[in-house]
Chain A
Amino acid sequence: MLAALTAFAITSAARLLTGARALWLGCTAQPVQRLYYANHSSHGDFVLLWASLPPELRRSTRPVAGADYWQRDGLRRYLINQVFNGVLIDRERGSAHSNPLQPMLDALDNGDSLILFPEGTRNLEEGLLPFKSGLYHLAQARPHIELIPVWIANLNRVMPKGRALPLPLLCTLSFGTPLQRLEDESKEAFLERARNALLAMAPEEA
């Protein structure tokens, strides 16, 4: 109950502050199992992406987040586990023998959709950092999942790094077409293609 209220308050605040306008350019908001992958410039990214989804999709869509950041204190643990129902992954690979992708594979096998930031860390410059290989391995292991590029525009201006108070500026989220499957594609080629598909969703600077 409290978690649902908190989620409502956070998504409402995010929408009020940023408008959170979702442009479904290459696909529609349907309850299909998907992996949304987006550019990452702020801690608010997954909140905004999550808030811009229709409520029925939001319930089954879980953000993938770094365990090191979200397990630092009680409040963060509560938010990521109870409110956002996040999938925590070990970015530092403490135990070498376990598969760091396993929590994501479990969530997908459970029927959930995921929100993933394949740059792996927040990018404070323009454009995109090179992608980590997790996206490739997930796509290989679960080929039936739709991969949807989502460009989040302007949120880096709303919440600049190291600033506490967010600015009210309008943000748009552009949802692209599902990434096509190609037979026998190398990891590098796949990641490059996925990255270009996401870059193509960025609005052009006038």
Chain B
Amino acid sequence: MDHNTLLLFAGIGALLLLASAIGYFLKWRSGDTPNPVIDNLNARINAWWVMVLVIGAAFVFGDIGVILLFYFVSFYALREFMTLTPTRRSDYPALVAAFYFALPMQYLLIAVDWYGLFAIFIPVYLFLLLPILASLGGDTTRFLERASKVQWGLMIAVYCISAVPALLTLDIPGYAGRNLLLIAWLIIVVQLSDVLQYVCGKLFGKHQIAPHLSPSKTLEGFLGGVSLACLAGALLYWITPFNFWQAALMALTVNLLGFAGGLVMSAIKRDRGVKDWGHMIEGHGGMLDRLDSVCFAAPIFFHFVRYWWVPPLV
């Protein structure tokens, strides 16, 4: 790890120490009476320690560590998505292809840096292959709906999430060997936006933005969280290939996309009648609950950086 990465992780560690201290103080002040909001806050902070440690360990192993980390993240996300979207027995071949072929293949293509294929592998090849496999079963009940669910799950949980490690494949002039920091910047800005929206919402929230989709999202939380996260992203411009204002605009883009991602994924959960995608992250819910904003922000971020910062090959 280079100097900047260590500095970054030290900063995150300090932030988490502060959060843990606040959480401990709130718990101490509330005394023995159980308070679900404070308990959930502390569960979330503790889970953040674990998540930061896991990401830090992946960073120690470099590019391969991060690609493997996101492979597992995609696996857990896809498992949550497919668990919640009912399929029928004749969807088995399509699901096998999704879990045992598309998922490893996408990450393999990123590891060997084959942009021409990983950018279209799922949206073109798997888009056509999955309904072909589903049709072989001869079961026409809700066919389009079932085929779409598998495609959607793959796009969100594998294609969109894999855009994060795909940032490693970009050759940005003057930024060689530092792409891991670009990943760190994206994750920090998007997750910080989620955290700050939650905090601002809990402190100042009055007006609900989308009462039917996500009752906990408020206008005050949205404005406060997004603007603070944009400021943080801009102040971190020194770990990116961007200048201050470029970093601020990029942060605004990913934060707005992240917010929209939270709304869309909430709509799917409400439709299925559940509150959380899963239970693997204490206090947060499932993998997809933590990553809904990243799913929507990462692919656009990847292509913006590629379009404006990577010179075309001549």
- Give A contacts to B, CB under 8 Å: 19, 21, 154, 157, 160, 163, 165, 167-170, 204-206
**How far apart are A144's CB and chain B's nearest CB, in angstroms?**
35
B224 at the interface (CB under 8 A from A): no
B280: contacting residue among A19, A154, A163, A167, CB under 8 A:
A19
B303 at the interface (CB under 8 A from A): no
B244 at the interface (CB under 8 A from A): no
Q: Judging by beta carbons under 8 Å apart, are A170 and B92 in contact?
A: no
Q: Judging by beta carbons under 8 Å apart, are B83 and A169 in contact?
A: yes
Q: Judging by beta carbons under 8 Å apart, are A160 and B89 in contact?
A: yes
Q: Judging by beta carbons under 8 Å apart, are B87 and A170 in contact?
A: no
Which residues of chain A are near B82, meaning CB under 8 Å?
167, 169
Q: Judging by beta carbons under 8 Å apart, are A170 and B273 in contact?
A: no
CA distance in complex: A19, B80 (Å): 10
Q: Judging by beta carbons under 8 Å apart, are A154 and B272 in contact?
A: no
B83: contacting residue among A154, A204, A206, CB under 8 A:
A154
**Chain A: CB-nearest residue to B93:** A163
Q: Judging by beta carbons under 8 Å apart, are A169 and B79 in contact?
A: yes
- Give B contacts to A, CB under 8 Å: 75, 79-80, 82-83, 86-87, 89, 92, 95-96, 99-100, 271-274, 278-280
Ranked 3 nearest A-B pairs via Cβ: A206-B273, A170-B83, A169-B83
B79: contacting residue among A165, A168, A204, A206, CB under 8 A:
A168
CA distance in complex: A154, B83 (Å): 8
CA distance in complex: A170, B79 (Å): 7
Q: Judging by beta carbons under 8 Å apart, are A167 and B95 in contact?
A: yes
Per DSSP, are chain B's interface residues mostly helix, strand or loop, or mixed? helix
CA distance in complex: A165, B83 (Å): 17
Query: How many A-B contacts at CB < 8 Å in the complex?
Result: 33
21 contacts between A and B (CB under 8 A): A19-B79, A19-B278, A19-B279, A19-B280, A21-B279, A154-B83, A160-B92, A163-B92, A165-B96, A165-B100, A167-B92, A168-B75, A168-B79, A169-B83, A170-B79, A170-B83, A170-B278, A204-B273, A205-B86, A206-B272, A206-B273
B99: contacting residue among A19, A168, A204, CB under 8 A:
A168
Q: Judging by beta carbons under 8 Å apart, are A167 and B99 in contact?
A: yes
CA distance in complex: A157, B95 (Å): 10
**How far apart are A42's CB and chain B's nearest CB, in angstroms?**
12
Which residues of chain B are near A154, meaning CB under 8 Å?
83
**How far apart are A69's CB and chain B's nearest CB, in angstroms?**
21
Which residues of chain B are near A165, meaning CB under 8 Å?
96, 100
**Chain A: CB-nearest residue to B83:** A170
**Chain A: CB-nearest residue to B98:** A167
Q: Judging by beta carbons under 8 Å apart, are A170 and B80 in contact?
A: yes
**Chain A: CB-nearest residue to B82:** A169
Which residues of chain A are near B279, meaning CB under 8 Å?
19, 21
**How far apart are A7's CB and chain B's nearest CB, in angstroms?**
24
Which residues of chain B are near A167, meaning CB under 8 Å?
82, 92, 95-96, 99
Which residues of chain A are near B87, meaning CB under 8 Å?
157
**How far apart are A122's CB and chain B's nearest CB, in angstroms?**
13
Which residues of chain B are near A205, meaning CB under 8 Å?
86
Which residues of chain A are near B92, meaning CB under 8 Å?
160, 163, 167
**How far apart are B284's CB and chain A's nearest CB, in angstroms?**
16
CA distance in complex: A157, B79 (Å): 12
CA distance in complex: A113, B23 (Å): 43
Which residues of chain B are near A163, meaning CB under 8 Å?
92
CA distance in complex: A181, B63 (Å): 61
CA distance in complex: A19, B279 (Å): 9
Which residues of chain B are near A19, meaning CB under 8 Å?
79, 278-280
A206: contacting residue among B96, B274, B280, CB under 8 A:
B274
**How far apart are A23's CB and chain B's nearest CB, in angstroms?**
10
CA distance in complex: A52, B224 (Å): 43
CA distance in complex: A154, B279 (Å): 16
**How far apart are B131's CB and chain A's nearest CB, in angstroms?**
18
Which residues of chain B are near A168, meaning CB under 8 Å?
75, 79, 99
Which residues of chain A are near B274, meaning CB under 8 Å?
206
CA distance in complex: A158, B82 (Å): 11
**How far apart are B179's CB and chain A's nearest CB, in angstroms?**
30
**Chain B: CB-nearest residue to A168:** B79
CA distance in complex: A206, B100 (Å): 28
Which residues of chain A are near B273, meaning CB under 8 Å?
204, 206
Interface centre among A21, A165, A170, by most chain B C-beta atoms within 10 angstroms, is: A170
CA distance in complex: A21, B83 (Å): 13
CA distance in complex: A150, B80 (Å): 22
CA distance in complex: A10, B95 (Å): 22
